[in-house]
Structure 1
Amino acid sequence: MKKLSVCIVLSICFTFSVLGQSAIELGDKREIFVDKFLIEELKGVEIIKHTPKDEGAVLLFDHPWEGNFSGYSTIIKDGGLYRAYYRGVREAGKDGNENEVTCYAESKDGIHWEKPKLGLFEINGTKENNIILANAAPVTHNFSPFLDANPNVDKNQKYKALGGTSKTGLIAYVSADGIRWKKLKEDAVFKKGVFDSQNVAFWSESENQYVCYFRIWSDGGFSEYKGYRTVGRTTSKDFVNWTEPVKMTFGNTPMEHLYTQQTSPYFRAPHIYVAIGGRFMPGRQVLTEEQAKSFNVDPGYFKDCSDAVFMTSRGGSVYDRTFMEAFIRPGIGLDNWVSRSNYPALNVVQTGPEEMSIYVNQDYAQPTAHLHRYSLRIDGFASLSAPYKGGEFVTKPFTFSGDELEINYSTSAAGEIKFEIQDQDGKPIPGYTLEDSQVIIGNEISRIVSWKNSGNLKKLNSKIVRLRVYMKDADLFSIRFK
C-alpha cells in the first residue's frame, strides 16, 4: 500500500487531467534531457550522454592525518564559497576505527583549494590541522553533510549531516557554519541499513521532505550481506523520524554493484535528482602483483576496479538508467585501475558562467590519493541530439507557466533548430508553427525562442500543448518556460 501511495502522490505532482486528457505540469521548471520523461516520439533524434572533461587533480590528500584511504568526499557550494569534506585516514583498517577523521578544505572558485588550520582537534600532537570532526568513530568513517534548503530551517542547523555504520545506525549532526558540528541527538535517527559506504541526505523541494539514500544488499534486505550492493531510501519531515525503508529499482536493467550512488538535486532543476555513483566490479583485476607494488598500492586493494555511472530520479523508489555505459571511465595509467578508485564526490556544482564541475576520488590506496575535477557545460549531462541529415521529436502533452521559452542548445555552422507549439491533439497552433519559427543557429546556455509574430507565450499559459522540435546537426540540453 505504501508503494502505491507514493506512485499516486507523484502522479498528482506531475500530471493533471482536463477533459480526460492527461498532461505533465511543467510550470516554470527547467527540464534537462536525461530521460524520456517529456518525450513521446523521436524521429532521427536520440538522447546521448556527454563525457565530462578531465581537468586534473585539485586536492591532494597529503597531510599525515589524511592519506591513502581518504574518501567519501562531499562538495558544497554556499554562495561564493566552496566547501569540501572528506574522510582522512592513512592506513587501511576496520570501518569506523578511531584513526578516521573528517577533513575540510575550501575554495573561492572550486578549482584552487586551501586547507585551513582550524584548531578544533588535536591530532599527532597539534591543533594546526583541517579536521572538523575527530574522536567520533564510526561517524567519521562516512560523515556526509549537506546544506539544508528547507525554507523553515533553524539557522543554527543550516548544515546537517549523517554518519555511522551498521553497528550504530546513522547518527545526525548539525552545524550553523559547516565547520563546528554537534550531535542532533545522542541515538541514531535511522538504523535499517548496511551503511558501510557514503549515505546521503538532502531537503527535497519537490517532495517537501528530507530524503536519504543509503547502502543495502539486493538479496539480503537492509542488513544481511548478500547479493549486489544497491540502494535503499527513506524520508523524513523533521530529520529525526524516518519512514520504513524501500529498495530503489532501476527499470529493466542489469544489476550491478553500486558502491556509492551520490544522489542529489540538480541545482538548476532540483525536482530532478542526479546520481553519479561508483560502480564496483569485484574480482575484475587489471594489475598484476608486481605492477601493484610498483605503485605502492596497498596489497588488499588492486584485485577489483571501478568507474562512475550516471543515473537520475524524480522522487519515489525509482532510478532511471538511460545510460548503462560509464559516465567517467578510469583514466590512462594503471594507477587508475585499483579497487575503490574513481568514486565520485557528492554533488555537482557550478564553477563558471557556462561550466559545472564533478569531483572524483582517484589513486585510492596509494600515496598519491587525491580529488580530481571534471567539467561539463551547464545542463550538459546529456542532450537530445540530431545528425546532419536532421530529425525531430514531439513531447507529451504538458502545461506551463511563463512568458518565454528559454533553451540551452548547440548547433554546428550548418545546423539549426526550429520549434513548433501544438495543441493537445498535435495540431500546430497558428502563429507558432515550424514555418513561423525563428531558425536558431549558435551555441548558448540561454536563448529565447521566438516566432514571426511574437515570442510571448502568456496567452498559452495553463493550456495543454505539445512541442514539436526540428533539429539538424544540433544538441538541445534543456528547456524552460520562464
Structure 2
Amino acid sequence: MRLLLCLSITWCLHLFTSTGASAEERSINLGELPLLFADDSGISSKSGVTRTIHPAKQSTTPVLQADKFWEGDRVYIHGSVYPDESSGGFRMWYLTRQEAIPNIKDIAVPGFRRNRYDVVLYATSRDGITWEKPVLNLHAFAGSKANNIVFDLHSPSVLLDKHETDPAKRWKMLGYFGGDYYAAVSPDGLKWTSYPDKKPIFPEGDNISLAQDPTTGDYLAYHRLHATIRGTSRRTVWLSRSKDFATWSKAELTFAPDEADDDWITEPKQRTEVNNMSVLPHAAGYLGFPAIFRVTAPDRKNLSPEGKSIPFPKGQSPTDGYIDVQLITSADGLHWQRTEPRVPVIARGAPGGFDAGTILSVSSTAVHVGDETWMYYTGLTTSHGGALPEKRNAIGRAVWRRHGFASLDAKDAIGSVQTIPLHLTSTRLIINAATGKHGLVRIATLEANGSPIPGLSLDESSGLREDATQWEASWKSGATVPTDRPVRILIELKNAKLFSLAAIAGKPS
C-alpha cells in the first residue's frame, strides 16, 4: 500500500504496523454506528479475502440547482444533509455566492458579512431527490424575506450534535469568511447565532468540514491551508480539535498529496492538491473523501486585448484543473492511509453533463435510507477554472449500497474475518453482506481471548445465503451474543462480500 507523506516518525511506524492481535489490542463499542471494512482498523485477522472499493452511482441530472434570484448562477453542497426527525423527509444546508448578481451591494441581506456575498441556504425533501426551497421569512434580500436564506458563511458544514445538553446549541456550523473560520450554533438549524462571539475561531483558509468523535463528542474541523510539499505550495487538509466548540487546537497537517499523486504531471508547475475533505466516522475509525485536484494550469494570467494583466471575471479562478473524489481511511482521524487502487468514488460525469468538469465538494454527512447510503456533491460543467456563463454549479446525489463504500470479498475458497474485541450495545447483531451463487456467510462469536462461546459457533450459525443489507445473525442453539463483556465476531465467507457489522437495539431502518 502506498503511504502518505509521513509527518512524523511515530506516524510512519503506525502505518507499517501489522493487523495481528496483541496483548495491547484495543476494543471498541459496536452499536448503531457500524463497523466498516475499508481498512483493517476493526480487524484482528483475516485470510482468503480481498478488499474492493466501490464507486458511487451518480445522478445524471442535478437534484438541486440555482433557480431563485438570490441564488445567482450557482449553488454548492459544502454543507450537510440530515434526515428530518419530524417529517420523515430530509433537510439540506447548501451555499450560494452572490457576488455576480447585478447591484448586489444594494440588495444584499442587511447586516450580513459581504466580501463575496456568501450565504447559507436551506432546502427540504420527501425523497432526497426532489428538493423544495421553503419561504422562511428570516432575512431580507432585495427588500423581501420571502426566501430560504439562513446565514452568511462560505462552505457551511452543519452538525446535529447528539452529545449537546443545551437545546440552544443542538445544531452547530463551521464556515469561512474573508480569510478566517467562524462558528455558529442554533436550536433548530434555521436561526443561527455566531459562537462563542463574532470573532474568528482560527485564522486562514477557505473550505472546511465539521465532524465529531462519536465516543468523546470532540469536534473535528478539517480545513484547507496551503503547505509546501516537495518544494511547491499546495492546497492541503489540516485538523483542529475542540471539546467545547469555542477553543480550538493548533492546526495539524493531516492529509497531503504524495508522490504517486503527481505521476500524471507532464509540464512544469503542474501539481496535485487536495481541495477539501469530508470525513465520516464509523465504529473503528473514519472514512475521508478528499477532493483530489489535478492542477493543469496554475497561476494563469488574464490578459486584455492590449496584453495587460487584468482581474479574472467574477466566478472564475486563475487556477485550472480537474477534481474528483477518492476514499481514504484513518483509525484516529489524524493519520490517514490511501485505499488502493486510487479510483474515484465520486467521479466526473459524462461529457455534457452537469458534473462533467469537476466534483468540487462533498456533503459533510451521509444519509442511510433502507438499502442505500447517499451523499451529495457539487458538480461543475467545466474545469475548476472555467469561465461563466459556461461554468455552472449544481448539486448531485451519489448512491452506494448501504454502508457500501468498500467490501471484503471471498470467492470459491473460504475466507474469514475476525474483529478486534467489541463491546456490543445490543444482542441484535446486524450483518451487511451479499452472497453469490452457492454463496454462504456464517457467523461465530468468540470470547475476547479468542476462545469459543458455547452455542455461538460457525457450525450453529443459521447462515446467510442471499443479498441482505441488514441481516440479523442467529444460531440454531437460540443463544444470543453477550453484551456484558467484549467479544470478537468471526465471519466466514464463501462467494460473498462483507460490507459492515452493527448492533442495533430496535428494528433496522
Given the two structures, how large is their TM-score scaled by the length of structure 1? 0.79
* Counterpart residue number, 1:361: 378
Q: Structure 1 residues 301 and 331 mapped into 2: Cα distance closer, same or farther (>3 Å)? A: farther
Amino acid at match of 1:277: P
CA distance in 2, matches of 1:75, 1:253: 34
Amino acid at match of 1:357: W
1:153-302 aligned within 5 A? 154-165=166-177, 167=179, 169-192=180-203, 194-197=204-207, 199-219=208-228, 227-249=233-255, 254=260, 256-265=272-281, 269=283, 272-283=285-296, 300=317
* Counterpart residue number, 2:461: 437
Matched-pair contact (CA < 8 Å) for 2:55–2:344? no
Matched-pair contact (CA < 8 Å) for 2:366–2:373? yes
Instruction: Report the alpha carbon displacement of residue 348 of structure 1 after superposing the two structures with TM.
Output: 0.7
CA distance in 2, matches of 1:187, 1:403: 47
Q: Structure 1 residues 399 and 205 mapped into 2: Cα distance closer, same or farther (>3 Å)? A: closer
Matched-pair contact (CA < 8 Å) for 1:69–1:92? no
1:317-345 per-residue CA deviation (whole Å, 9 max, x = no partner) reads 22232242211111111456776544222
Matched-pair contact (CA < 8 Å) for 2:239–2:253? yes
Amino acid at match of 1:265: P
Equivalent residue for 1:391, pick from 393, 411, 414? 414
Matched-pair contact (CA < 8 Å) for 1:85–1:104? yes
SS of corresponding position for 1:156: helix
1:377-424 per-residue CA deviation (whole Å, 9 max, x = no partner) reads 22111111122x233124255243353532111112421112344566
Equivalent residue for 1:106, pick from 94, 119, 124? 124
Q: Structure 1 residues 188 and 273 mapped into 2: Cα distance closer, same or farther (>3 Å)? A: farther
Gap regions ≥5 residues in structure 1: 135-139, 286-296
More divergent stretch after superposition (332-341 vs 69-78):
332-341
CA distance in 2, matches of 1:260, 1:315: 19
Equivalent residue for 2:94, pick from 86, 89, 98? 86
Matched, 1:62 2:67: yes
Matched, 1:476 2:481: no
1:101-140 per-residue CA deviation (whole Å, 9 max, x = no partner) reads 2222112332221011223333234332221235xxxxx3
Equivalent residue for 1:28, pick from 27, 30, 38? 30
Matched-pair contact (CA < 8 Å) for 1:303–1:339? no
Matched-pair contact (CA < 8 Å) for 1:64–1:90? no
- Aligned Cα RMSD in Å? 3.7
Aligned length: 439
Matched-pair contact (CA < 8 Å) for 2:431–2:473? yes
Instruction: Report the alpha carbon displacement of residue 474 of structure 1 after superposing the two structures with TM.
Output: 1.0
Q: Structure 1 residues 384 and 337 mapped into 2: Cα distance closer, same or farther (>3 Å)? A: same
* Counterpart residue number, 1:149: 162
* Counterpart residue number, 1:137: none
Instruction: Report the alpha carbon displacement of residue 462 of structure 1 after superposing the two structures with TM.
Output: 2.5
* Counterpart residue number, 1:46: 50
Instruction: Report the alpha carbon displacement of residue 298 of structure 1 after superposing the two structures with TM.
Output: 6.9
CA distance in 2, matches of 1:413, 1:371: 38
Matched-pair contact (CA < 8 Å) for 2:357–2:380? no
Q: Structure 1 residues 207 and 250 mapped into 2: Cα distance closer, same or farther (>3 Å)? A: farther
Amino acid at match of 2:126: K
* Counterpart residue number, 1:294: none
CA distance in 2, matches of 1:428, 1:185: 52
Identity within the alignment, %: 25
Matched-pair contact (CA < 8 Å) for 1:150–1:203? no
Q: Structure 1 residues 333 and 96 mapped into 2: Cα distance closer, same or farther (>3 Å)? A: farther
Instruction: Report the alpha carbon displacement of residue 189 of structure 1 after superposing the two structures with TM.
Output: 4.5
CA distance in 2, matches of 1:96, 1:326: 35
Given the two structures, how large is their TM-score scaled by the length of structure 2? 0.75
* Counterpart residue number, 1:373: 397
Amino acid at match of 2:91: R
Amino acid at match of 1:391: I
CA distance in 1, matches of 2:435, 2:394: 36
Q: Structure 1 residues 98 and 374 mapped into 2: Cα distance closer, same or farther (>3 Å)? A: closer
* Counterpart residue number, 2:350: 332
